[in-house]
Each structure stands twice: as C-alpha cells, then as structure tokens.
Structure 1
C-alpha cells in the first residue's frame, strides 16, 4: 500500500480539522511505514522545572500515530485513538523540542497499530515509548 497523503497535504488537513494543535507539530519526514514529527516546544508544554510535561509527550505520541494513520488511509478526520500505552523513561532536556519516530506496525480495515519512540532533540536515547491503536471509520 502506498501513501495517500504527503507531508504538505497531511499537515494542512490536520491543521484544518484540528485547530487546537495548529503550530504545535511539524512533520519532518514521511515514508510508507514511518514518520518523524517534532513537537515545537513552547512555555505551554513545560512543567515546573522547565522540562516537557507528560501530557505534552502523550500528545506528541498520539499525534504521530494520527499523522501516520492518515498518511496511509487518507483524510479521515474521525480516525480516533482507541488505546495507548506509554512508558516515560528519561527526563527530557529542559526546553528542548521533542521528536517522535513512529512506525506503523499494522494497518487493517478497522484498526491501525503504531509504535512511537520520543526523543529530546539532541539526545541519542529515547525519553518515552508508546504503543497506540487507532480506529478507522467504516468506508
């Protein structure tokens, strides 16, 4: 199966249907089974102490899986998260952007399963790992 949306089309679609995240994320790379997306960290993403908050890290993992699923199925705004498990492994660098590396593990008619590693920009070891399942609307 091939991509149904490229980076530009995907980014424009998500910002149109999901205004709440406008400007927060930048898709940097996209292939048939993987994607790299950046959380453009601002003060609203930080917790006391200056590191990226857990909810912001969850949002990045969730958006990475959403982008990956949409890239393969096309513009289906009502594709939704049905499951997420996340492990927070390391403290992100203070104020640094976070980068998600997402891999699509399975794409079926009704569900998509994605694995996501989160990295603090400039650090080699992941700060979190997530496994997400998305429900795809019936055709």
Structure 2
C-alpha cells in the first residue's frame, strides 16, 4: 500500500506533468482535484472532455497504486466515460474513485467527477487497469 504522502512524492518525481492534487486515499478509494485554468477550457466556457478523461484516469491510477504500491507500469486497458453536465469554467474539478475489483492482474474502478462543490456529478467513468506481474 502507498500513503497519500508517498503517492504525492511519486507523482512529483516520476510524473512531473501530473497537475492534480491528491485530497485523500483510503479503503479502495481516492479523491483527487485539478485546478482549472484557461488552457483546460473549450469554446462555450466549459472544461474540455479530454481534461475530464485525464482526471478520471488519474483517479483510477492513484486509487490502484494506493492499494498495490508504487507500480509505475500498471496501465489503462479500458476507460469508458459519460459526460452528464456542463462543468463550471471557474471551479476546480474533483474525481472520486472507488475500486470495484482488485485482482492480481486486473483492477476495475468507477469514478464520479464533480465541478466545485456541486453534489451532482458532471461525468462518470468506469476503467480497467492491467497490473504487471510481481517479479
């Protein structure tokens, strides 16, 4: 298992391009947040779909690593996302992930993405990760 501090350090050193904050990790779950800026927006004043997909994928990765440890080569094999509502261009987005299954070679999780403090999700994703064999 990896702690919030260990995960934060891992992403800062091994994935410096990761521009999200880890809010919490726990029992097969994690919450991460991304500060939205002008570069994340699409015409119409909303957060772009690829940004939401990136956050969903990152939330899955953080959640899985919090359970199995810092395994850099765990990779996404599938990600399905449904865009539900227009996220605000002025508010951070938050992704809350819960693992549905954590096996030896596959992990499956679901992610709800929220805009600001709204209780209604703006997107919902389900993803699968391949976990490399232990050597």
TM-score, normalised with respect to structure 1: 0.92
CA deviation profile, 1:59-104 (whole Å, cap 9, x unmatched): 0000000000111111111110000000001000122110011001
| Aligned-partner SS, 2:47 | coil
CA contact (8 A) 2:96 2:111 kept: yes
Give the equivalent residue in structure 2 for 1:13. 10
**How much is the aligned-residue C-alpha RMSD, in angstroms?**
1.0
Is 1:33 aligned to 2:28, yes or no? yes
Q: How many residues align?
A: 134
Give the equivalent residue in structure 2 for 1:138. 133
> What residue ranges of structure 2 are gaps of 5+ in the alignment?
none
| Aligned-partner SS, 1:38 | strand
| Aligned-partner SS, 2:17 | helix
CA distance in 2, matches of 1:61, 1:10: 16
Q: Would you identify which runs of 4 or more consecutive aligned residues in structure 1 move more than 2 Å?
A: none
Q: CA deviation at 1:5?
A: 0.7
Give the equivalent residue in structure 1 for 2:54. 59
Q: 2:87 aligns with which of 85, 92, 109?
A: 92
> What residue ranges of structure 1 are gaps of 5+ in the alignment?
none
CA contact (8 A) 2:36 2:89 kept: no
CA contact (8 A) 1:46 1:95 kept: no
TM-score, normalised with respect to structure 2: 0.95
